[in-house]
Structure 1
Amino acid sequence: MLNTGQNLRPGSQLFSSVSESNHAKGKYYLGNQQDGNLVIYPAGTIDADSSYWSTGTSNRGLLLTLSLDPNGTLWMFDGNTSFTKTLFLTNQSSGAAPAVENYYCLTLDADGVLRLYSHVFLRLEGKPTIKVAWQVPGDRCLVKGVCGPNSFCQLTMTGETSCSCLPGFEFLSTNQSTLGCWRTLPISGCVRSNNSSNEETRMMATMVEVKNTTWPENPYDALPVTTSIEDCKLLCLSDCACQISMFSDSYCSKQMVPIRYGRISGSNNTLFVKVYTYRAIQRKKIAGAGAMLISGATLVVLSLVVLSGSVFLICRHKRSLRYMRAPQLYDCKVDGDIGLQSYSFQDLDVATNGFTQELGRGAYGTVFKGVLANISKEIAVKRLEKMAEEGEREFHREVRAIARTHHRNLLHLLGFCKESMCHLLGYDYMPNGSLANILFNSDVRPSWSKRVAIALDVARGLHYLHEEIQNPIIHCDIKPENILIDRSGIAKIADFGLAKLLIGNQTNTLTGIRGTRGYLAPEWSKNTAITVKVDVYSYGIMLLEIISCKRSMELKRAGSEYNISEWAYECVMFGETKKVADDACIEEAELVRMLKVGIWCTQNMPVMRPAMKSVVMMMEGSKEVRQPPRPASFSQS
Structure 2
Amino acid sequence: MGFAPFLAFSLLFPFFTFLSSAPLAFHAVYPNFTASNFKFIDDSGTFLASLNNTFTASITNSKSDSSNYFFLITHVVSDTIIWSANPYNPVSISSPLTLSPAGLSLSDDDSGALVWSTPPLPSPVAAMHLLDSGNLLLLDHANVTLWQSFDVPTDTILVGQRLPVRNPLFPATTEDDDMSFRLLLTDDDLLLQWNQLTFWKLSMDLKAFRHSYSPVSFLAINGSGFYLFASDGSTVVMHLSLNSNLGELFRFGRLGFDGRFKITSFVNGGFVDEFVGPSENCQLPTPCGKLGLCSSGTCSCPPSFTGDSQNKNGCVPADSSVSLASPCGNVSKANVAGELNSSFSYLRLTDGVDYFANNFMEPENHGGDLQSCKDLCSRNCSCLGIFYEDSSSSCFLIWDKIGSVMSAKRSRVGYIKTLQMTPISEGKSRKRIPLVGLILIPSSAIFLVIAIGVLLCFRRLRVLATLQRSESSSSMELDMTLIPGLPVRYGYDEIVTATDNFKTQIGSGGFGTVFKGTLPDKSVVAVKKISSQGAQGRVNFCAEIAVIGNIHHVNLVRLKGFCVEGRQKLLVLEYMNRGSLDKALFGDGPVLEWRERLEIALGTARGLAYLHSGCDHKIIHCDVKPENILLSQSLGVKISDFGLSKLLTPEQSGRFTTLRGTRGYLAPEWLTSSAISDKTDVYSYGMVLLEIVRGKKNCSFEEKDGEYFPLVALEMHMMGGRYLELADPRLEGRVRGEEVEMLVRVGLCCVHEDPALRPTMANVVGMLEGGVAVAVANANPILESLNFLYLYGSKFSEPSNLTPQNQSALWRALVSATTTTTQPHPILGNHKSNSHRTASSHLSSHQLSGPR
Deviation, structure 1 residue 413: 0.7
Task: Check the 8 A contact 2:529/2:570 in 1, yes or no.
Answer: yes
1:573 to 695, 702, 718: 718
Match of 2:518 among 371, 392, 400: 371
The equivalent position to 2:772 in structure 1, one of 614, 617, 623, is 623
- The Cα of 1:212 is off from its aligned counterpart by 7.5
Which residue of the other structure, out of 456, 471, 474, is the alignment partner of 2:620?
474
Q: 2:318, 2:737 → 1: CA distance?
A: 83
Inter-CA distance 419–509: structure 2 relative to 1 (3 Å threshold): farther
- Whether contact under 8 Å (2:543, 2:643) holds in the other structure is no
Match for residue 339 of structure 2? none
Q: Do residues 440 (structure 1) and 586 (structure 2) align?
A: yes
Alpha-carbon separation, structure 1, partners of 2:758 and 2:749? 6
Following TM superposition, by how much is the alpha carbon of 1:230 offset from its aligned partner in structure 2, in angstroms?
2.9
Partner of 1:28: none
Counterpart position of 1:340: 487
Which residue does the alignment assign to 1:19?
none
Secondary structure class of the residue paired with 2:699: helix
- Counterpart of 1:362 in structure 2 is 509
Structure 1 match to 2:662: 516
Partner of 1:268: none
2:153 partner amino acid: E
Q: Does the Cα contact within 8 Å between 1:556 and 1:562 map onto a contact in 2?
A: no
Specify whether residues 392 and 597 from structure 1 end up closer, same or farther in structure 2 by C-alpha distance, changes over 3 A only.
Answer: closer
- Identify the residue that residue 573 of structure 2 maps to in structure 1: 427
Q: Please say if residues 620 and 642 of structure 2, whose CA atoms lie closer than 8 Å, have aligned partners that are also in contact.
A: yes
User: Contact 1:402 / 1:496 at 8 angstroms: preserved in 2?
Assistant: yes
1: distance between equivalents of 2:540 and 2:630?
Answer: 28
Q: Is the 8 A contact 1:506 1:530 kept in 2?
A: no
CA separation in 2, counterparts of 1:589 and 1:323? 63
Could you tell me how far 1:471 is from its partner in structure 2? Answer: 0.5
Q: Determine the C-alpha separation between the residues in 2 that align with 1:375 and 1:357.
A: 19
2:754 corresponds to 1:609: no
Structure-1 separation of matches of 2:486 and 2:185? 16
Q: Which runs of 5+ in 1 are unaligned?
A: 1-208, 215-223, 244-252, 256-277, 311-317
Pick from 482, 490, 496 the counterpart of residue 636 of structure 2. Answer: 490
Residue 628 of structure 1: how far off its partner (Å): 1.1
Q: What RMSD over aligned residues (CA atoms) do the two structures have, in Å?
A: 4.6
CA distance in 2, matches of 1:576, 1:460: 28
**Deviation, structure 1 residue 415:** 0.6
Contact 2:617 2:647 in 1 (8 A): no
**Displacement of 1:418:** 1.7
Partner Cα distance (1:481, 1:450) in 2: 17
TM alignment of 1:112-131, pairs within 5 A: none
CA distance in 2, matches of 1:363, 1:513: 14
In 2, the alpha carbon distance for the partners of 1:368 and 1:524 equals: 32
**In 2, Cα distance between the equivalents of 1:534 and 1:210?**
47
Distance 1:551 1:564 in 2: 8
The structure-2 alpha-carbon separation of the partners of 1:211 and 1:497, relative to structure 1 and needing over 3 Å to count, comes to: farther
- Which residue matches 2:747? 598
Q: C-alpha separation between the residues in 1 aligned to 2:599 and 2:669?
A: 29
- Which residue of the other structure, out of 539, 542, 545, is the alignment partner of 2:691? 545
Q: Whose Rg is larger?
A: 2
Secondary structure of the residue aligned to 2:184 is: coil
Kept in 2: contact 1:474–1:497 (CA 8 A): no
Q: Determine helix, strand or coil for the equivalent of 1:500.
A: coil
Percent of aligned pairs with the same amino acid: 34
CA distance in 2, matches of 1:334, 1:346: 23
CA-to-aligned-CA distance 1:590-621 (integer Å, 9 cap, x gap): 21111100000011111111000111111122
In the alignment, the residues of structure 2 paired with residue 483 and residue 210 of structure 1 have an alpha-carbon distance, to the nearest angstrom, of: 48
Give the TM-score taking structure 1 as reference length: 0.50
**Closer/same/farther in 2, CA of residues 534 and 225 from structure 1, 3 Å limit:** farther
Tell me the residue number matched to 1:16. Answer: none
1:578/1:377 CA distance change after superposition, 3 Å: same
Quote how far apart the aligned CAs of 1:387 are. 6.0
Match of 2:547 among 395, 401, 408: 401
Out of 561, 566, 570, the residue aligned to residue 415 of structure 1 is 561
CA distance 1:564–1:488, change in 2 (3 Å): same
Helix, strand or coil: the match of 1:552? coil
Counterpart of 2:736 in structure 1 is: 587
> Partners of 1:523 and 1:500 in 2: how far apart?
17
Distance in 1 separating the partners of 2:659 and 2:587: 28
- Secondary structure of 2:572's partner? strand
Give the conservation status (yes or no) of the 8 Å contact 1:479–1:519.
yes
Corresponding position: 1:241 with 2:186? yes
What amino acid sits opposite 1:230 in the alignment? P
Count of aligned residue pairs for this structure pair: 370
Instruction: Indicate conservation of the 8 Å contact 1:451/1:546, yes or no.
Output: yes
**Cα-to-partner distance string for 1:57-106 (whole Å, 9 max, x where unaligned):** xxxxxxxxxxxxxxxxxxxxxxxxxxxxxxxxxxxxxxxxxxxxxxxxxx
Q: Any conservation in 1 of the 2:477–2:564 contact (CA below 8 Å)?
A: no
**TM-fit CA distance, 1:365:** 1.4
Q: Give TM-score, length-normalised by structure 2.
A: 0.38
SS in 2 for 1:238: strand
Which secondary structure state, in structure 2, belongs to the residue aligned with residue 286 of structure 1?
strand
What aligned pairs does 1:123-162 form with structure 2 within 5 A after superposition?
none
Query: What SS does structure 2 have at the residue aligned with 1:497?
Result: helix
Aligned residue for 1:230? 153
Give distance in 1, aligned partners of 2:675 and 2:572.
32
Following TM superposition, by how much is the alpha carbon of 1:453 offset from its aligned partner in structure 2, in angstroms? Answer: 0.8
Mapped contact 1:363–1:515 kept (Cα < 8 A): no
Q: CA separation of 1:225/1:450 partners in 2, compared to 1, >3 Å: closer, same or farther?
A: farther
Counterpart of 2:306 in structure 1: which amino acid?
I
Name the CA shift for 1:377/1:334 in 2 (closer, same or farther; >3 Å): farther
**Corresponding residue number in structure 2 for 1:453:** 599
Structure 2 contact 525–574 (Cα < 8 Å) conserved: yes
Cα gap change, 1:392/1:512 in structure 2, threshold over 3 Å: closer, same or farther?
closer
Q: Does the Cα contact within 8 Å between 2:185 and 2:218 map onto a contact in 1?
A: no
The verdict on how the C-alpha distance between 1:392 and 1:305 changes in structure 2, with shifts beyond 3 A counting, is farther
1:547–1:580 contact (8 Å) kept in structure 2? yes
Structure 1 match to 2:26: none
Assess if the C-alpha contact under 8 Å between 1:334 and 1:340 holds in 2: no
Instruction: Name the CA shift for 1:572/1:371 in 2 (closer, same or farther; >3 Å).
Output: same
Query: Structure 1: which amino acid aligns with 2:717?
Result: V
Cα separation, 1, equivalents of 2:526 and 2:550: 19
The separation in 2 between residues aligned to 1:538 and 1:562, in whole angstroms, is 19
Q: How many Å separate the matches in 2 of 1:297 and 1:500?
A: 49
Letter of the 2:712 counterpart? W
Cα offsets for 1:263-283 (capped at 9, x unmatched): xxxxxxxxxxxxxxx999555
